[in-house]
């Protein structure tokens, strides 16, 4: 079993204040025995503001400070940040602690529902996995959840679970899509999906840019058979859960979804 904590909160536009939140919530999660502590996409600074002036490299001050938090708590921290890329930025998941310090750059950019992430963000191209206590985790970010081939590729790379930080856009039917997609990606990859979203700003009376995807809450854990294992509500909260990697193997054997594919395999 691997104990994972999902920290559902609303980040601000101030990276220093958000670093304080990381420190506080890592302490809470580690106190409950978590080995992996997950924060949402855009944890460094939320969407709806200019991102380029806030961006820092993975070896910059913000990420190194998170690394120190992870080291002190003896956990792996996964948190959304923005890294420089010319006139644009990369939407990066920082992966730090337990001997790791690197990033995953979001592959699929949110050019949908009237929002154009690609105007300010450059897309990544490399999938990333990380092992914690013998359990391999794949990484994906928000809009990536709409692309099953990424999750199946991460399963092919040995992942028993996929960590999915998000800052989901609100709107009619969007909660239902979020819940459906999280469960579907778990089932069609035979992976646990650990989906950690930004809390809904309205739950704390936080004013945000209404045109930006700033979260709806409802962080969720789906097991490899697509069952909803645990879920939060709309407001800030901590979800701590134990995942069993053997269930991933059982799911893949039962459904045959990876072995029986005929399209999209190299």
As annotated, the active-site residues are: 41, 106, 142
Tokens of 110: 């949110």
C-alpha 135: how far from its chain's center?
17
Tokens of 224: 């490899």
**Residue given tokens 């399963």 in the structure block:** 155
Q: What is the CB neighbour count within 10 angstroms for residue 218?
A: 21
Instruction: Write the burial class of residue 99 (CB in 10 Å: 0-12 exposed, 13-18 middle, 19+ buried).
Output: exposed
Radius of gyration, alpha carbons of the chain:
17
Residue 203 DSSP symbol: G
**Residue given tokens 């930080």 in the structure block:** 165
């Amino acid at each position: 079993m691997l104990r994972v904590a999902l920290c559902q909160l609303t980040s601000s536009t101030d990276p220093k204040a958000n670093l304080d939140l990381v420190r506080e919530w890592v302490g809470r999660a580690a106190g409950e025995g978590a080995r992996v502590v997950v924060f949402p996409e855009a944890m460094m600074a939320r969407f709806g503001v200019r991102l380029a002036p806030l961006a820092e490299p993975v070896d910059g001050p913000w990420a190194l400070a998170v690394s120190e938090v992870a080291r002190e708590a003896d956990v792996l921290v996964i948190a959304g940040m923005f890294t420089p890329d010319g006139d644009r930025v990369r939407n990066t998941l920082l992966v730090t602690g337990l001997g790791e310090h690197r990033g995953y750059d979001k592959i699929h950019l949110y050019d949908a529902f009237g929002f154009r992430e690609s105007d300010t963000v450059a897309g990544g191209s490399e999938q990333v996995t990380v092992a914690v206590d013998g359990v391999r985790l794949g990484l994906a970010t928000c809009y990536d959840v709409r692309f099953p081939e990424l999750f199946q590729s991460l399963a092919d790379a040995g992942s028993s679970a996929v960590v999915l930080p998000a800052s989901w856009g609100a709107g009619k039917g969007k909660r239902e899509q979020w819940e459906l997609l999280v469960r579907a990606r778990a089932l069609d990859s035979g992976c646990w999906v650990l989906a950690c979203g930004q809390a809904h700003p309205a739950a704390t009376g936080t004013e945000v840019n209404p045109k930006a995807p700033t979260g709806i809450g409802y962080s969720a854990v789906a097991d490899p058979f697509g069952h909803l294992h645990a879920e939060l509500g709309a407001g800030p909260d901590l979800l701590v859960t134990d995942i069993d990697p053997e269930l991933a193997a059982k799911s893949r054997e039962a459904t045959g979804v990876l072995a029986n594919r005929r399209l999209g395999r190299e």
